[in-house]
Amino acid sequence: MISMSIVGWDIGGVHTKAALVRYEADAVPDVRVVTRPFEVWRAKDRLPDLLRDVLAELTDRPPQAMALTMTAELSDVFRTKREGVRFVLDSVGIAFPKTPVYVLSLTGEWVPRAEAYDRPLDFAANNWLATALYVAEVYRNALVLDVGSTTTDVVPVVDGRVAALGRTDLDRLLHGELVYTGVLRTPLAAVVRSVPLRGRFCPVSSEYFAVTGDVYLVLGRIRPEDYTCPTPDGRPPTVEFARERLARLVCADIEQLTPAEIDAIADYIYERQLQQVETAVRKVRSRLGEPADLPVLPLGTGAFLAVEVARRMGLRLLEPPMAWGSAGGRVAPCVAAASLLTNWLMADGHEP
């Protein structure tokens, strides 16, 4: 293989992620990754500047090509997904007018950015497919369990092919292949209706007082620097403030609840979120006939949640592909997209 550098993008509504995958002859690819918090609805017109900043952090040389995936089109700053996809395509074009950009379609095709503009819905929420297609090239059988800040992907790979029934967000929700639960941004009333407290169950407030990031900060599952979304109260992502936020879930405060009581609430929410993900895994596996050997590939910011679900279900675990590097599993769609596009360009003799 000749020398080639490809950047893979996963442009979401609250995080923009990128991976530079550099190939040199037959050496193991060099992978660099960047994640930037960016809430599209707050300042969408700044997206081109952000993209340029992220690329500058990855490399001082322009890549030969870029591979694009996205989920930002769902943001309610756009009236339709069609509008959102086109906005992302435009933003990438403004940021990198001289770099060839290819977009992954929901049928697995690489399409030049300009052509994608004419059929935008074929490219909406395509990031999960990049991961699944690459995993299918590495593992014959696997269950991709990618737990992110906001959502969880449950994607089966069977006999070397992506065996998902859904392609769009709506269809994937219906089939249990997309679960709207994650380890940072999920409001806690979306996980539990009540929590154990002082010998009984206390209903929770549906106010935006705390999120799952507070739960995992208190439980030591994430570090403050992993809490890459705004906190509900605007205070820092520390254990002390996270406990304050969690106390308000039951309309209390730290003068009314002890740290032990708050931590017990956090642990209960963790258990309930595990059950949410396990329920989806069981639903997906059930239509496959509960295959005996469908090991779990845990990915994402919340890979620890995927690992625990697999352990409780007695399922074998897989390691992320070695070519992704140590950090690739946290931004799997980016690394997968860059790798897939490289293979496509090389195999078919396409000019970047």
SS3 call for 166: coil
Q: Which two tokens stand for residue 97?
A: 């007018």
Q: Which two tokens stand for residue 136?
A: 């299918």
Predicted pLDDT of residue 321: 86
Q: Give the pLDDT band of residue 322 (cuts 50, 70, 90).
A: confident
Q: Rounded mean pLDDT of 22-38?
A: 87
Which DSSP string do the residues of 94-107 spell out, in sequence order?
HH-TTS-EEEE-TT
Domains 4-129+322-347 and 140-317 alike in fold: yes
Domain ranges of the chain: 4-129+322-347, 140-317
- Note the Cα 167 to chain centre separation in Å: 16
Is pLDDT at 52 greater than 80 in this prediction? Answer: yes
Q: Which two tokens stand for residue 313?
A: 């279900």
Which position has the higher pLDDT, 23 or 331? 331
Q: Rounded mean pLDDT of 286-314?
A: 91
Q: Rounded mean pLDDT of 157-169?
A: 96
Closest of 108, 136, 133, 103 to residue 120, by C-alpha: 103
pLDDT in tens, 114-135: 999 999 999 999 999 999 999 9
Q: Give the pLDDT band of residue 289 (cuts 50, 70, 90).
A: confident
Q: Rounded mean pLDDT of 200-223?
A: 98
**Cβ atoms < 10 Å from Cβ of 50:** 18
pLDDT in tens, 240-282: 999 999 999 999 999 999 999 999 999 999 999 999 999 999 9
Predicted pLDDT of residue 2: 66
Closest of 301, 296, 295 to residue 327, by C-alpha: 301
State how beta strands 178-179 and 194-197 pair: unpaired
CATH architecture for the domain at 4-129+322-347: 2-Layer Sandwich (3.30)
Q: Which amino acid is at 309?
A: V
Predicted pLDDT of residue 292: 66
Q: Rounded mean pLDDT of 304-310?
A: 98
SS3 call for 33: strand
Question: What is the spatial distance between Cα 219 and Cα 245, in angstroms, rounded to a whole number?
Answer: 14
Global model pTM greater than 0.85: yes
Question: What is the spatial distance between Cα 59 and Cα 54, in angstroms, rounded to a whole number?
Answer: 9
Q: Give the pLDDT band of residue 27 (cuts 50, 70, 90).
A: confident
State how beta strands 296-299 and 142-147 pair: parallel
Q: Rounded mean pLDDT of 204-217?
A: 98
Which position has the higher pLDDT, 268 or 351? 268
Predicted pLDDT of residue 6: 97
Residues 6+ away with beta carbon under 8 Å from 259: 243
Is pLDDT at 91 greater than 60 in this prediction? Answer: yes
Is pLDDT at 1 greater than 60 in this prediction? Answer: no
Q: Which two tokens stand for residue 268?
A: 């209960």
pLDDT in tens, 164-186: 999 999 999 999 999 999 999 99
- The owner of tokens 């997904």 is 81
Question: What is the spatial distance between Cα 330 and Cα 93, in angstroms, rounded to a whole number?
Answer: 26
Residues 6+ away with beta carbon under 8 Å from 86: 117, 120
CB 155 within 8 A of CB 143: yes
Predicted pLDDT of residue 348: 65
Q: What is the mean pLDDT of the chain?
A: 95
Closest of 32, 72, 29 to residue 50, by C-alpha: 72
Is pLDDT at 351 greater than 80 in this prediction? Answer: no
Predicted pLDDT of residue 8: 98
Closest of 105, 64, 71, 65 to residue 88, by C-alpha: 71
CATH number of the domain located at residue range(s) 140-317 in this protein: 3.30.420.190
Predicted pLDDT of residue 65: 97
Is pLDDT at 187 greater than 70 in this prediction? Answer: yes
